[in-house]
Every structure is written in C-alpha cells, then in structure tokens.
C-alpha cells in the first residue's frame, strides 16, 4: 500500500544514499552556498512558502515498540488532512498533516499524540520535533526563463494526501533526459504527471465534501474490495468519473485555495 522511507542525515537514509551515488559519479556538492537561479539549469528548491498548501508537524523517535503503521482521520487531530504513526525496526515517526488552519498545528499534534498513546502501548525514546510545508499548483511551472523546474518547485504533489517524493525524483530524471536528448521537458512532464495531478484535484474536492460518517463508508467500501489496489490505481489515474467531476473540482480548488493558482 505504501513505502516507508527514512530521510535525513542518518546512515542508510534516502538522502544519504542518493548523495553517495552522486559522489561516486563525480558530482560535486557546494554546501552553505546559495546558487543564483541564473547559474542553474534545473531548479529544485522545494515548496514555496507563499504557496504552502500542506503543513506537517510531528516527532521522530527511537522505540522498542514492534513495527506498525496506523492512519488516523479526525477533525480534532487534523483539519482536512490526516495523522499517522509509523514504526519500523526501532525507529518511529508520528505526525499530523493539515491542509488548512495551520495555526492549529500544535494543538492538533498534541491531540494526535494523546489518541495514539491511549490506543497503543507506545515506547517513545529521544523524541525530536520536525515540521515542514508542502506546495502544489493547479497550473504547473515546468519551464521558465530557460530554467527547468522539478518536484514541488514545479508544483508537483498529490493533492489528496500530499505525497510527492516519487514526483520529485521522476521529474528530476525527466529534466535531465530533456537536456541530454534535447527534448521538451514540459511535454515530458505533462505526459507523465498530467492525469495524476488532475485526479488529485478531484480526490481533494471529494475528500473535503465528505462528512465524518462518509469516512467510514469510504473505508468500508475499500475494505470489501476484492482488489483494492485496482481501485486505488483508478483513483489516482483520472478515471471516467473523475473526468466528469474535474471541471467542478478545479473551480472549487481554485476558489478555496487561490494561492495555488498562478
């Protein structure tokens, strides 16, 4: 259903593994230096604070609790988003993700923590606070002034859950290929991400229209599915129903999240 990925400075993380591969290929890193956009070919600066759509707040920690993965949907623990608890091989992460009312992030996380502690026998050691923002655009910027934009700098992110790691990596690869092969990056990116991004707009619209009782109904339908992966694939790849709803969903998203349209 999903991948659990370790990030950051710790050995074996995705970041450090990619860095090591790059170093072995002769790539040079320049830390603590800001490169002017005029000197760059590919812009990978991540989300723009002025176009922040999602906010995550939580803790990472060491633990003796057995491996588990729990998702939590509640208006008390998050607004229009979700909370989660992931534990893998002695390493844990607990967070709440909001798509609105960012000023409630601290209280939402405290409620998330309270619920999980009441629900499970958790062992939390050496907790470290983390947080971050996410950005998604309804009009993506793939090329501007001769520069190629990838990942969240281009507004690439799933609008339902705020996932974007694969989008970032794949868009970076496509940007490199467009330079090497002298092809249009915009065309490559639109072909790869266009339908998925539209599906995300519809999914976000539908999710925000759901009531608390509808959450149970939706999860119940998924639970009874003989092949839930097939349904999930359809939901994320712009099926016929989504095509019919898309004009209404796009209008709603642009009105409700005006800073996401450029």
Total-model pTM: 0.89
Q: Where are the beta strands (DSSP E) in the chain?
A: 42-43, 52-62, 68-72, 82-88, 91-98, 125-135, 143-144, 147-149
- State the CB neighbour count (10 A cutoff) for residue 42: 17
Q: Is 249 helix (H, G, I), strand (E, B) or coil?
A: helix
Of the two residues 161 and 42, the one the predictor is more confident about is 42
Q: Is 157 helix (H, G, I), strand (E, B) or coil?
A: coil
Confidence of residue 165 (pLDDT cuts 50, 70, 90): very high
Q: Is 227 helix (H, G, I), strand (E, B) or coil?
A: coil
Q: Is the predicted pLDDT of residue 262 greater than 60, yes or no?
A: no
Nearest to 150 by CA among 186, 119, 124, 113: 186
**Quick one: pLDDT at residue 211?**
66
pLDDT digits (tens, 9 = 90+) for 49-99: 777 889 999 999 999 999 999 999 887 888 888 999 999 999 999 999 998
Instruction: Kindly state the DSSP code that residue 230 receives in the 8-state scheme.
Output: H
């Amino acid at each position: 259903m999903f991948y659990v990925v370790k990030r950051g400075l710790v050995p074996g993380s995705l970041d450090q593994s990619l860095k090591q591969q790059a170093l072995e290929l002769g790539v040079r890193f320049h830390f603590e230096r800001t490169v002017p956009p005029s000197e760059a070919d590919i812009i990978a600066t991540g989300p723009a604070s002025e176009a922040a759509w999602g906010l995550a707040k939580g803790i990472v920690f060491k633990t003796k609790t057995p491996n588990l993965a729990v998702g939590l949907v509640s208006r008390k623990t998050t607004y229009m988003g979700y909370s989660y608890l992931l534990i893998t091989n002695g390493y844990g992460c607990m967070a709440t993700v909001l798509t609105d009312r960012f000023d409630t992030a601290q209280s939402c996380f405290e409620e998330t923590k309270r619920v999980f502690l009441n629900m499970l026998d958790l062992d939390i050691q050496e907790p470290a606070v983390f947080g971050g923002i996410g950005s998604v655009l309804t009009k993506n910027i793939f090329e501007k002034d001769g520069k190629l934009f990838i990942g969240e700098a281009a507004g690439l992110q799933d609008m339902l859950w705020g996932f974007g790691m694969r989008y970032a990596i794949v868009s970076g690869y496509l940007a490199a290929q467009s330079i090497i092969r002298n092809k249009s990056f915009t065309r490559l990116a639109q072909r790869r991400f266009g339908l998925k991004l539209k599906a995300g707009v519809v999914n976000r619209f539908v999710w925000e229209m759901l009531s608390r009782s509808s959450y149970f109904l939706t999860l119940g339908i998924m639970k009874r599915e003989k092949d839930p992966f097939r349904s999930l694939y359809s939901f994320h790849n712009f099926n016929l129903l989504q095509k019919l709803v898309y004009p209404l969903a796009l209008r709603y998203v642009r009105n409700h999240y005006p800073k996401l349209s450029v």
